[in-house]
Amino acid sequence: TNSTIDVLVWGPLHEFLMQALARDFKVHKRWEIKDLDAWVADRGPHVRAVVTSGVYGLETALLERLSSLEVVTSFGVGYDAIDTAYLAKRGIRLSNTPDVLNNAVAETALALMLCLTRRISEAERFVRAGKWTSAKFPLGRGLTGKTCGIVGLGKIGKTIAKRAAAFNMEIAYFRRGEPYPDVPYTHYSDLKELARQSDYLVVIVPGGPETKHLINREVMQALGSDSYLINVARGSVMDEQALIASLQAGEIAGAALDVFEDEPRVPTEFFSMDNLVLTPHLGSGTYETRQAMAELVFTNLSSYFNQGKLVTPVNLD
Ligand code: 8YV
C-alpha cells in the first residue's frame, strides 16, 4: 500500500484523479493548507511526490524545501511552466500526459479554423442581437484547396495535418534545418516563407524560452491580410502586442486564440475585434480526453511507486 506516501497536489485537478489519489496516497492539497510556511517546515521533508498540471507549473522556492521529493507527475503534455533543469539537477523524475490528447487538440484546431473562417461566433452574435431581419451577414472563406501551414509538426501537429488534409487542404510545415524524412508535406526551413505560403497558420510548438515570440510581427505581415492565425500551443509563442498592432493595421484577416500570454487574463483590446475567436484554453477539454489524462497521471504515480518507473517519463537527461 502507498497510503503512507505523502503526495502534495499543487492545485485542484480532475475529479477522478483527486479521488484516486485520496484513495491510494496520503494527499495534501496545497491550496487548502492555511499556513503553508509552517506546514512545509513540518511536512515538507516527508513529501515524496508532487502532482501538478502544465498550467500550474511549480515554484522552485517551495520545491527547494521538499528535500525528499522524488517525482513530479504533471497533468498535460506541455511542461514549459516546470523548471526541468532544476528537477534534473536534483534527480527528480517528471512525467506528462502525451498522446492521449492529440485528437482533442487537433479537433480544437479544426473547430477554430472553421469557426474563424466561416465567422461562426460573429454570425451567432449577429442572430442573437436580432440583426438578421435588417442586415445581411458577410461572407466567409473556405478551407478547400487552401494551404494549412503548421508550426510544430510533432504528434499533435501531424494529427492536425491529417484532419486538414481531409478537408482537401494543402499541408506545409515549418522546421528549422532539414525536412522530416518520413513526412509527405511541403517543408519550409524559413518560418516567414511558410507564413507567406499559408492561408491558415496553425501554431502547435511547445512553449518555453526557445519558442518565445516565435510568431512576431514579421511573421504576421508575411501571413498577409487574407490569411488567418490559429494558436493552440502556448500564449508565449505569440507576441500578443504585435498581434494587436497587426490586427489594428489589418495585416492579417483574423486569428483564433485558445491560449494567451498571461492566462486567464486576455488583452482587453481583443474583446472588440470581431475577426477574433477567443477560447479559454479548452484544447484538450473533452470528457474523454481529460479522463484519459487523469488516468495517465495516476498510472504514472502508481507505477513509479509500485514498479519503480514512470509510464510516460519526460526525459530530463
Ligand atoms: C492543460 C495543456 O494541461 O496539455 C497541455 O499542455 O495545455 C492542457 O491540456 C489542461 O488545460 C489542464 O490544465
Read off the pLDDT of residues 256-288 as tens digits, 9 standing for 90 and up. Answer: 999 999 999 999 999 999 999 999 999 999 999
Is the C-beta atom of 77 inside 6 A of ligand 1? yes
Q: Is residue 1 part of a domain?
A: no
**Does 123 lie in the same domain as 230?**
yes
| Amino acid symbol at 22 | A
Residue identifier of the C-alpha nearest atom 8 of ligand 1:
76
CATH of the domain at 256: 3.40.50.720
Expressed in angstroms and rounded, the spacing between residue 41 Cα and the centre of ligand 1 is 31
| Amino acid symbol at 315 | N
- Report how far residue 53's alpha carbon sits from residue 91's, in angstroms, rounded to the nearest whole number: 20
Catalytic residues: 234, 263, 281
Given a contact cutoff of 8 angstroms between Cβ atoms, the answer to whether 2 and 25 are in contact is yes
Q: Is residue 26 part of a domain?
A: yes
Locate all alpha helices (DSSP H) within the chain, ordered by sequence: 15-24, 36-43, 60-63, 84-90, 102-117, 120-128, 155-166, 191-197, 217-223, 240-248, 287-307
Q: Is residue 317 part of a domain?
A: no
Expressed in angstroms and rounded, the spacing between residue 29 Cα and the centre of ligand 1 is 19
- Mean pLDDT of the 74-97 span: 97
The pLDDT tens digits of the residues spanning 200-224 come to 999 999 999 999 999 999 999 999 9
To test the pocket of ligand 1, the residue of 52, 53, 107, 260 to mutate (highest count of ligand atoms within 8 Å of its CB) is: 53
Expressed in angstroms and rounded, the spacing between residue 108 Cα and the centre of ligand 1 is 13
Residue-range definition of the domain harbouring residue 15: 6-100+288-307
